[in-house]
Structure 1
């Protein structure tokens, strides 16, 4: 259900020169990450990281290594985007554990993440705040 960080990290940076801006949320989708980075880091990538291979973390590594030369906005955005994506991925990987009680009480016998998540979302008022927050952080609501 979730993508591995290494596959994502570099794919979104590859596209970040071509997309318009968006605002940063507590967690964001991969598409929103590309959009925000394009807006806030596009010029820095063109200036400081031109010609780099887009895979294997080259762009992120370049921006981090040249942080002193990169705009404060880009540095801040890169940190925020990576933290947001990490929070989303952590929530996606941990929802079953965090929501274990609710799954056992409200969604007993259901199989498949989609069915279980649908059940939990319908039961929003009857599940713990931690479970609700995890579902929200995972980007499923």
Structure 2
């Protein structure tokens, strides 16, 4: 993976810099798209897909259950479950090359399966610290079964 970028305001700058240093030869890029998924948008994904050639893997994505620094959305188990559903919607929407885009989404890796601490500053676990399945787990399981291969 040439670069593993966050869908934040400086995504464009970082991607262009990495393209320059890889001499435009990199063909696999990673994106942590929490912003897009939890805010129901596609700005970060669209930006990266228009800039980089090859494949984009969603390498760290999912619904956020709790996050001390959350802005623009209110994390909860229900919101995380909705975000996970939207995560699959985005992956399906951009799974083939579109006009004006240089790449497409080919893989999706949720983060994280199980949160270890009940008082963690950041929690995107499909399973609670106590080992119980959350709403997001059920959503993930259902959507993954029906996902395009």
TM over 0.5: no
Larger CA Rg, structure 1 vs 2: 1
Greater share of helix:
1
Higher RCO (CA < 8 A, seq sep 6+): 1
Give the number of the structure whose residues are more often strand, by fraction: 2
TM range (shorter): under 0.3
